Amino acid sequence: MCMPLQWYVQEHLENGCFVHKHYADACTVKPVVSDSGGGYVVHEYDVFQVAASELLLSFPHLIQTYQIDGFPDPGNLIGMNPH
């Protein structure tokens, strides 16, 4: 799971044509389970590039399905881990 920090477009040459692809710089997000139901910690130090096409679920879809999938509430950010 990740949290996009910023979105941008890059041009790629495919089959002789320039194609625009969307990417994000994102941080890793880890679930934390607690007595209050849990949430997520954003690992600010773990930044990576991800193509939009590689993301499986949007945040609105995750909000609709997290209970079925057994995840903590994605709207509950417990904290940020800068190290």
pLDDT in tens, 10-45: 998 989 999 999 999 999 999 988 777 789 999 999
Using one digit for the tens of pLDDT, what is the confidence trace for 62-78? 999 988 988 888 889 88
Model pTM above 0.85: no
- In the prediction, which pLDDT does 3 show? 93
Residue 26 confidence (pLDDT):
97
CB 66 within 8 A of CB 37: no
CB contact at 8 A, 61 and 39: no
| The predicted structure's pLDDT at residue 8 | 97
Q: What are phi and psi of 58, to 5 degrees?
A: -80, 165
State phi, psi for 5 to the nearest 5 degrees.
-100, -40
Angle (CA) 29 57 76, round 5°: 40
Provide the pLDDT for residue 35. Answer: 75
